Amino acid sequence: MHRSLQSALLPGALVLLLGAVACNADEQPLGPGAVDPGTVMPGGKPGGGGGEEASDRMTGGGKLGEDRDFATFGFQVRPGQGELEWQQHCLDGVTSTPTCTFGGFSFHGSTITSYTTNPDDPAHCRTWTGSGEVKLRDPALAAQYDGTYTYRVDKACDYGEPGHDTDYMSFTLASYHREARLTGGNIQLHAEQKNGQHTIAMEVITP
Amino acid sequence: MNTTLLSRPILPFLALVTAAVVPLQAQTTSASGVAAVVRTLTLSQQLAGATLPTYGGVNTSSLDAASLPGLLSASALNSTTTGMLDVQDVSAQTTSELGSLQILNGLISAQQVLAVASSYANGATAGSDAVGSQLVGLVVAGQSISSMPAPNTRISLPGVGYVVLNEQTVTGNGSTASGITVNMIHVVLQNALTGLKTGEIILGSAKSAVSL
């Protein structure tokens, strides 16, 4: 049986809710594009849809977690384009903890397929999906799992400045999932003006 | 006549551009990170350096491993900068990190170094911080340092120079401008006889600055 992120990372509380997903994962190796991260949502919420298409932008960067198991990230996103960099650090290597089952890895998301408001809090939070490249640090696992994956930012929220301990990030990549308030950094939602135009300097001054 | 014909379509455009640009002229956002900087009398290298584009966005740079014999070895070097210039809110963030590092043949070692620099200005206040920065498994000259050193902690390295841990430099006025530079490990190499600086090694360097 193939090792799968789905079956390996499911928190105990979600096993029943996501049992069907886990079974599917057992039948499907974690190869490039093998698992749709949209099927694994925090709290077992399926899909996470319901938001409206967003026309603004969001940027952010920082850190989730502390000490020996943490992630750093940076992103910019707007309709149709964006990038996301994610670095998962597991200083004790591959462990049974939910976020280190596959050890440390880097992910570079280079495409955006959807960008919407988050229905839970459309004034502060955005949701988006895209795809990018995964590089696992463990050589044996890398040989088996490195490749192209779709990902989902379930929720990125700007609750003001400074962003640490207030802004929120939730990220799902196959069955890897991490969500928390930021332990460093900031997320900034750049609102669209009422006339429908952005106030980003580059767009304004470029004829 | 020619002037009239030309000015009609151009003037409204110029007025629009001028009105739009003037409020933005004072705004700036800048950020950069570099996982490692090594400067000696014969060598100058920056590893995994990333600089934020002028108007914002995201930029990242990574190296799987680096080795400068006798000076530095490290793995998983990465710097990522993000930020955006905006009329209402300007922000910039940088993370810079590396792992499994050895400096000067093991005189200093650490399992993980992470520098986080974050700056914002929103019209009411401006601020910067290094919250999230960390040193894990740090050993300096055989002495283990388990807790996060206070900003700008200096430790002498006899015969070599000194090291500044969690080096922080803050700029700005707190209302319209703010910036911070964080160097998690900054080794200053000195001539043992004269005390003159002969080089430096900086690991985990993150900068962010904004003005509105």
Condensed to tens digits (0 to 9), the pLDDT of residues B61-86 reads 999 999 999 999 999 999 999 999 88
CB contacts, 8 Å: A76 with chain B: 56-58, 82, 84
Higher pLDDT, A99 or A37: A99
Residues of the domain holding B207 = 34-211
CB contacts, 8 Å: B27 with chain A: 201
**B118 with A61: Cβ contact below 8 A:** yes
Mean per-residue pLDDT of chain A? 77
**pLDDT reported for residue A46:** 35
Residue B138, H or E segment: strand B138-140
**pLDDT reported for residue B11:** 47
Tell whether the model's pLDDT for residue A61 goes beyond 60.
Answer: yes
Residue A117 has a CB neighbour count (10 Å cut-off) of: 19
Question: Do B211 and B126 contact (CB within 8 A), yes or no?
Answer: yes
State the average pLDDT over residues A19-27. Answer: 29
**Which of A83, A162, A202 shows the shortest C-beta gap to B58?**
A83
**Does any CB of chain A come closer than 8 Å to the CB of residue B133?**
yes
Kindly report each contact of residues A166-172 with a partner whose C-beta sits within 8 Å and lies 24 or more positions away, as own/partner.
A167/A60, A167/A62, A168/A125, A169/A60, A169/A62, A169/A64, A169/A73, A170/A42, A171/A71, A171/A73, A171/A86, A172/A37, A172/A38, A172/A40, A172/A41, A172/A42
Residue A59 has a CB neighbour count (10 Å cut-off) of: 30
- Kindly report the nearest CA distance between residue A161 and chain B, in angstroms: 7
- Kindly report the nearest CA distance between residue B152 and chain A, in angstroms: 19
B2 part of a folded domain: no
Cα–Cα nearest to B100, from B92, B88, B112: B112
Positions of chain B with pLDDT under 50: 1-8, 10-11, 13-24
- Kindly report the nearest CA distance between residue A172 and chain B, in angstroms: 20
Helices within A52-138 (DSSP H only): none
**Does any CB of chain A come closer than 8 Å to the CB of residue B16?**
no
Cα–Cα nearest to B96, from A65, A107, A90, A62: A62
Selected residues 155-184 of chain A with any CB under 8 Å from a CB in chain B: 161-164, 182-184
- Kindly report the nearest CA distance between residue A53 and chain B, in angstroms: 21
Between A11-15, A27-31, A119-123, A174-178, the lowest mean confidence (pLDDT) is in A11-15
CB contacts, 8 Å: B56 with chain A: 59, 76, 200, 202
Strand partners, B75: B65, B99
For this complex, say whether ipTM is above 0.90: no
B26 part of a folded domain: no
B24 part of a folded domain: no
**Does any CB of chain A come closer than 8 Å to the CB of residue B61?**
no
Pairing assessment for the beta strands B72-84 and A176-181 based on DSSP bridges: unpaired
- Kindly report the nearest CA distance between residue B116 and chain A, in angstroms: 7
Interface test with A, best of B27, B86, B120 (most A CBs within 10 A): B86
**A201 with B60: Cβ contact below 8 A:** no
Tell whether the model's pLDDT for residue A69 goes beyond 50.
Answer: yes
CB contacts, 8 Å: A74 with chain B: 58, 60, 80-82, 93, 95
B9 part of a folded domain: no
- Rounded to whole angstroms, the Cα distance separating A123 from A118 reads 8
B10 part of a folded domain: no
**pLDDT reported for residue A49:** 60
Q: Where are the domains of chain A?
A: 31-190
- Kindly report the nearest CA distance between residue A175 and chain B, in angstroms: 23
Number of domains within chain B? 1
**Does any CB of chain A come closer than 8 Å to the CB of residue B80?**
yes
State the average pLDDT over residues A87-99. Answer: 94
**Residue A206, exposed/middle/buried by CB under 10 A (0-12, 13-18, 19+)?**
exposed
